[in-house]
Amino acid sequence: MRIATRLTAVATAVFLAWSAVNVSAGPLPADPNAIGGADAGRVQPFLGVVGAFSIAANVEYAVFAPGQFDLGPDPSGGTQYVYAYQVYNTGVGANARQISIITEGLSKAADPANPGSLGAGFGAVPGSSTFAGAPPTSTRWDYTGAPLALGTNSTILLFTSPHPPGLQPGSIQGGGLSDTKLLPSPIPEPASFILLAFGAAALLVVRRRMRWV
């Protein structure tokens, strides 16, 4: 009976978390200035379950073309794309975890800049906003000192890039649990990849010539 009760509790928590997928409380999903216009369905549900424990969130997002960011000061001064995310802890029940780390993956040539967030008026401000790796492989917003409790949300989390959006894995983490889903992230245009390919080919030719000198 104890196992059955525990499974029922987990199933109920999972159902309640997923039933909240279409609830958008922040400005990002309906911002008409973002790429795609208003009401573009910019909500990605996250859910990680291990045994009786779970971590769940709705991550709302929007990407703004250069000069179109309208929710606060543009960290790039209007010269780059602004990538914006807001995380809502939708976990339910005693075994649902708080969220301590939020990350968004970056391609090798994403050229990211200005990691940060808007003010507390939009939600909880992270303890730090940084890029991880060299070159950066992800943007990281750290709530370890004050995790996002159940039913609370982050402020709007930001970074910028000169490149338009594609998709890269983003994650939420906390209490030993995590989940990963695809979210918008800068992807260099094909021309950038061509230049990189030519650069790599040129470097290979130079190395081969040096071997014969």
Provide the residue-wise pLDDT of the chain in tens; the chain has 213 residues.
344 333 333 333 333 333 344 445 799 999 999 999 988 889 999 999 999 999 999 999 999 999 999 999 999 999 999 999 999 999 999 999 999 999 999 999 999 999 999 999 999 999 999 999 999 999 999 999 999 999 999 999 999 999 999 999 999 999 999 999 999 999 997 644 333 343 444 334 334 433 444
Contact 86, 155 (CB under 8 A): yes
CA distance 79 to 82: 9
In whole angstroms, what is the distance from residue 187 CA to residue 123 CA? 28
- Residues 124 and 140: their CA atoms lie apart, in Å, by 15
User: What's residue 85's pLDDT?
Assistant: 98
> Cα-Cα-Cα-Cα dihedral of 68, 73, 75, 77, to 10°?
60
CB-CB contact of 172 with 101 (8 Å): yes
- What is the pLDDT, as a whole number, of residue 24? 53
- Amino acid making up residue 124: A
Q: Which helix (H) or strand (E) holds 190?
A: helix 190-212
Strand 165-174 and strand 177-186: the pairing is antiparallel
Torsion of CA 71, 72, 73, 79, to 10 degrees: 0
| Helix ranges, 32-174 (H) | none
User: Which H or E run contains 173?
Assistant: strand 165-174
**Distance, C-alpha 162 to centroid of its chain:** 17
Q: Are 115 and 127 in contact (CB under 8 A)?
A: no
Q: What is the pTM of this model?
A: 0.79
- Look at domain 2-212 and name its CATH class: mainly beta
CB 117 within 8 A of CB 128: no
Amino acid at residue number 38: A
Residues in the chain: 213
Extents of the domains making up the chain: 2-212
